[in-house]
Amino acid sequence: MTDRIEIRDLMVRAIVGINDDERINRQDVVINLTIWLDFRAAGRSDNIDDTINYRTLTKQVIELVEGSSFFLVEKLAGEIASLGLGFSEAIERIRVSVEKPGAIRFARSVGVTIERTRGDES
């Protein structure tokens, strides 16, 4: 499947990290999502019911991230992927990238990217 929705550079504040200050102070995380689903029906109908409402999904991602308190960005990325796959049966695959800008000295950011397909959410 080559049809996809891309949500780029979603900046959210979260508690994430293993250091003492990261457990107290919210920090910026940048999230990128690539969501694969079939657009053919939506392309024919021009009806939101034949695709996903990515605004609603984005709001749910923001709510998850802002309310989380994970130690690892790997865990955060996995939870976002699970949320995405659970959002709609139409979503076949999701790629989630989570970056922490400035987390490493001399690096613009550090992050992880994961990809999950329906059926391998665990």
Annotated active-site positions, please? 100
CA distance 71 to 78: 13
CA distance 44 to 37: 15
Q: Virtual CA dihedral for 59, 61, 62, 68, nearest 10 degrees?
A: 140
- 26: its two tokens: 């919210």
